[in-house]
Amino acid sequence: MKVTRYLPAAVLAAAMLFFAYDILVDILTGLDGVWHVAIEFVVFLAISIVLAGELRHVRQLHREITTVKSRNARLAGEMLSVIHGQFRQWGLSDSEAEVALLLIKGLSMKEIAEVRAVKEKTVRTQAASIYAKSDQAGRHELAAFFIQDLMSVVPAR
């Protein structure tokens, strides 16, 4: 991904080097006229300006991505804190809270059993206890419980 991020800049830098070399050779050999060298120099300057703009744009995008990733991480942490707070209100055990998180993430009972190194029957029993304590009918209602507030702030299009 880093290579493709800088590919346009690399192409422009290569073009700049070519024109700088060509201008230098033209001046040293004296074979080309002033207009030819002047035109190449204008192209060299244009490429330099575009390259500087491209690098500035890439840096700006990188800062924006970093900012968004940081905000998303903070929000995810806050959401996880809210979820754990609700689990405590429901009186879920640590094991049930772990299973509940995995249910919300969408893992199947079998996958949760594999992740937790327990039997699938244990996960099903814990899931039933989670649904009873939370007064939710199943995994979809459990997940919806936590995202319904988020969905109410989504602007209408």
Tell me, letter by letter, the H, E, C secondary structure of 74-85. Answer: HHHHHHHHHHHH
Q: How many CB atoms sit inside 10 A of residue 123's CB?
A: 24
- In angstroms and rounded to an integer, the radius of gyration of the C-alpha atoms of the chain is 30
Instruction: pLDDT band for 8, please (50, 70, 90 cuts).
Output: confident
**Average pLDDT of 84-112?**
95
**Domain range list for the chain:** 1-75, 91-157
Residue 6 has pLDDT above 90, yes or no: no
Which pTM was predicted? 0.60
pLDDT tens-digit readout, 16-28:
999 899 899 988 8
Q: What is the pLDDT of residue 155?
A: 60
**Average pLDDT of 62-72?**
93
102: number of CA atoms within 13 Å, CB side?
20
Instruction: pLDDT band for 147, please (50, 70, 90 cuts).
Output: confident
**Average pLDDT of 130-154?**
86
The hierarchical CATH code for the domain 91-157 is 1.10.10.10
More confident residue, 7 or 157: 7
Q: What is the pLDDT of residue 120?
A: 96
Residue 154 has pLDDT above 60, yes or no: no
